Each structure stands twice: as C-alpha cells, then as structure tokens.
C-alpha cells in the first residue's frame, strides 16, 4: 500500500528528470541561430555555458552546507516551475526585446540552471527515500530518463529547425518550456517521503570512517562525470572536424546514439544489474579504452564507434556512484547527495574545459604543425585527438579510485560485522 501511495511521486520525479534534459540539450542547438539573429559573440555564448555550470555548482554547495534551512518537499514541488520560468524568459526577452537579448538569455540561463541544480540534488534522495523492493532499479531508471530526454530533445529540435526554419526557434523553446509544468502539476498531488520532509542532514555526520567513505564516493563521481561529459560535449565537434563526418550525420548518429546507449545501459542495469562495483570498474576501464582509441586510431570507423560506445561505458558512472554510496553509507542525508552532485557538476565543467584547452594549445604548437605533414592531418585534427588522449586520464584515475573504494568499503563492512 505504501508503494502505491508513492507511485505518483516516483512518476513525478521521472517526468521532472526527463524534462530537465532540455536545459542542457536545447541551448547548444540554438547557439548558431542566436549568434546570427542577435549578433552574440562566441565568448558570450561560452559565458552562458559557464553560467549554467557555476549556478548548478553553487546550488550543490548551498544544499551541502545549509540543507536544514530548506523545506525540501516544497522545493521539489516548485522546482519544475523554475525550469519553465527560465525557459520562458530565455525565449520571450530576445523575441520581444531584441536590444536586451543577451540579458534575457543570461537571466533565463540562471533560472533554469537553478532548477537543474535542484533536480540533481533532490530527485535522487527522493527516489532513494521511497520504499521499494529494488531501489537500485529506481535510481538507475531515474537517470536513464535524462539520457532518453537528451535524445528526444536533439531529434525533435533538429527536425523542427530543419522543417520550420531556425528563425522560429522561439516556438520550439516555448514547447520545451511548457513540459515541466506537467511535472509541477504531478508533484502538487504527490506525497513526499518522511525522510525528505524532515530535511535531515544526519547522513553527512558521524565517524571519520563515514566521512572518508563519502569523500571516496565524491571522488569517484567526479571522475565518472569527467568521462561522461567530456565526450558528450565534444562528440559533435570531434566527429565533424577530426573525423570529417557531416554535421547532421554526426549529431544524429553521434550525439543521439551516445544518449541512446547512455539510457539503454541504465535501463539494462535497472532490470538486471546487481554488483555495482563491478559495473563501475567495467565502465571506467571501457571509457579509458574508448578515449584512447578515439585519440590514437586512424580508422574513422573505429574512432566513430569509440565515441559512441563511451555513452555505454559511462552510463552508470554517475548513478552508479550514488548507488555505491547508498549501499555502503546507509541513512545518508540530502546534504550528502548535494555534495555528490557538486562533485559531478565540477567534473562536468572541468573535463570539457580541459579538453578544449588541450585542443587549442596543441593545434597552435610547432609539434602539431610538424605532425600534420607526416600524418596528413590538419593541426585542428591533431589537437582534437590529443584532447581525447589527455581526457583518458580521468577514467584511468577513476578506475584506480574505484578499486580503492571497493577495498575500503569491503574492509569497513568486514570490521563492522566482526
């Protein structure tokens, strides 16, 4: 009976997480249009991306240290409305006040980034707090819906812009702005688990052993997020510029397939998965191999496959580390989830940025100029491949840290039982 009472709550969380994908997927698809229509520079567009991640990270840190000051249940319920408000401002201000276009984009970005940060911090603990026969399945399914949301947004938005023209981006944005309202309506009729209503942060307190265990989990999710987001942010550019694949083909077969494999792997684990440590190790090792192949292979098919398969291997590196934390640190509080989200968001901003720096630095170097002659590649292609090779360090270090965490939690469990 308890599970039936929370069925709508669970469905509301799934809907909210699905609609959140538009926050990350839609703006990059509109950047070229916004630049052409409103004369916004690449630097200012890049600032919007930076604002997105910095805002989310700020929300993560606020909830890490000040969870007890928030009414978690009410915050969850209004969260989708904040998403809609941000998207509406993002659409309306440039359309009706073009002289303030960038200001509208910036304010809209801040608002829906706040909602994205809240989603990462709060939806996972809500799902974890709902009584369930298979909590791992629920957590994995939650995160799979984000991946399927990215695929949906990319495909629908690409087709819309191709059919109706980029000048009608306003109506496309309105469509994605309305969907979160559905989640808000569902949340309004949904009960919240008692542990969420109390907004307890006891889970982050306790022995040094628990604190060290949480630190290991944060480190693992940082490296996992680096491995996932470096490729997800650069796969389109890498396929177009390094592999010389048509952009439309690269976006549909690249970005979309990456997202599909990301979601499919999470659904598969939700149905069949049991040993999360083994899954994390396979993911880290597989991601390391994919980055190395993408950077080293001269065969377009192998490099193309490596980029796409990164989605498969990195799929569980974010939700899986949350599951590892829940299994080994029971009764964890919302603040701990916020700290994990901070680790993930930090990785999502550091890795893509580092890859970009490596690309620019290597492409402008004398070594790249020399290699371009002998390898019959442009300096930009060499820079992109070098970026992939350097990024491989994140899943490699993640593998090492996951092994350390596995041994630590096994030792801790043994000593506790003894």
String of DSSP letters for 61-80: HHHHHHGGGS-HHHHHHHHH
* Lowest-pLDDT range of 4-13, 40-49, 56-65, 391-400: 40-49
Evaluate whether 117 touches 58 at the Cβ level (below 8 Å): yes
Evaluate whether 291 touches 409 at the Cβ level (below 8 Å): no
What is the rounded CA–CA span in Å between residue 355 and residue 310? 16
Query: Considering only CA atoms, which of 309, 275, 265 is closest in space to residue 291?
Result: 309
- The model's pLDDT over 83-117, given as tens digits with 9 standing for 90+, comes to 999 999 999 999 999 999 999 999 999 999 999 98
Query: Considering only CA atoms, which of 96, 95, 77, 251 is closest in space to residue 181?
Result: 77
249 pLDDT band, cuts 50/70/90, is confident
What is the rounded CA–CA span in Å between residue 195 and residue 326? 14
**Given a cut of 70, is residue 177 above it in pLDDT?**
yes
* Long-range contact pairs involving 87-94 (C-beta distance under 8 Å, separation at least 24): 87/22, 87/23, 87/112, 87/173, 87/174, 87/176, 87/177, 87/180, 88/174, 88/177, 90/27, 90/173, 90/177, 91/170, 91/173, 91/174, 91/177, 94/34, 94/37, 94/38, 94/170
* Lowest-pLDDT range of 242-256, 336-350, 401-415: 242-256
Q: Which residue has the higher pLDDT, 208 or 381?
A: 381
Where do the domains of the chain lie, and which CATH numbers do they carry? 1-200 (1.20.1250.20), 202-418 (1.20.1250.20)
Mean pLDDT of the chain: 87
Instruction: Return the C-alpha torsion angle 288, 294, 297, 301, nearest 10.
Output: 120
């Amino acid at each position: 009976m308890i599970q039936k009472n929370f069925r709508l709550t669970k469905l509301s969380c799934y809907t909210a997480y699905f609609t959140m994908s538009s926050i990350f997927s839609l703006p990059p698809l509109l950047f070229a249009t916004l630049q052409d229509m409103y004369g916004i520079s690449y630097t200012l567009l890049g600032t919007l991306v930076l604002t997105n991640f910095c805002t989310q990270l700020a929300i993560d840190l606020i909830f890490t240290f000040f969870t007890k000051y928030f009414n978690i249940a009410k915050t969850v319920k209004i969260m989708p409305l904040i998403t809609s408000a941000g998207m509406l401002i993002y659409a309306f201000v440039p359309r009706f006040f073009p002289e303030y276009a960038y200001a509208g984009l910036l304010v809209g970005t801040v608002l829906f980034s706040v909602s994205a940060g809240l989603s990462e911090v709060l939806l996972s603990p809500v799902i974890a707090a709902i009584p369930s026969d298979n909590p791992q399945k629920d957590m994995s399914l939650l995160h799979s819906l984000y991946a399927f949301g990215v695929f949906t947004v990319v495909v629908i938005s690409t087709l819309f812009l191709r059919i109706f023209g980029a000048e009608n981006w306003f109506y496309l944005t309105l469509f994605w702005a309305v969907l979160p309202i559905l989640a808000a309506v569902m949340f309004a009729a949904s009960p919240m688990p008692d542990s969420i209503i109390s907004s307890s942060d006891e889970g982050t307190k306790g022995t040094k052993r628990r604190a060290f265990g949480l630190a290991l989990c944060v480190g693992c999710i940082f490296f996992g997020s680096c491995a996932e987001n470096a490729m997800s942010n650069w796969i389109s550019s890498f396929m177009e510029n390094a592999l010389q694949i048509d952009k439309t083909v690269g976006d549909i077969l690249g970005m979309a397939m990456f997202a599909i494999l990301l979601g499919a792997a999470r659904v598969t684990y939700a149905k069949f998965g049991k040993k999360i440590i083994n899954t994390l190790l396979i993911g880290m090792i597989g991601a390391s191999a994919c980055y190395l192949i993408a950077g080293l292979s001269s065969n377009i098919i192998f490099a193309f496959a490596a980029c796409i398969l990164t989605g498969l291997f990195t799929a569980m590196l974010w939700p899986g580390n949350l599951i590892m934390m829940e299994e080994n640190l029971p009764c964890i509080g919302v603040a701990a989830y916020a700290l994990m989200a901070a680790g993930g968001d930090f990785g999502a901003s550091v890795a893509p940025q580092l890859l970009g720096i490596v690309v620019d630095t290597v492409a402008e170097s004398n070594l790249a100029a020399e290699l371009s002659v002998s390898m019959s590649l442009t300096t930009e292609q060499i820079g992109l491949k070098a970026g992939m090779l350097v990024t491989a360090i994140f899943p490699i270090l993640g593998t090492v840290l996951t092994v350390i965490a596995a041994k630590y939690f096994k030792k801790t469990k043994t000593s506790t039982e003894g």
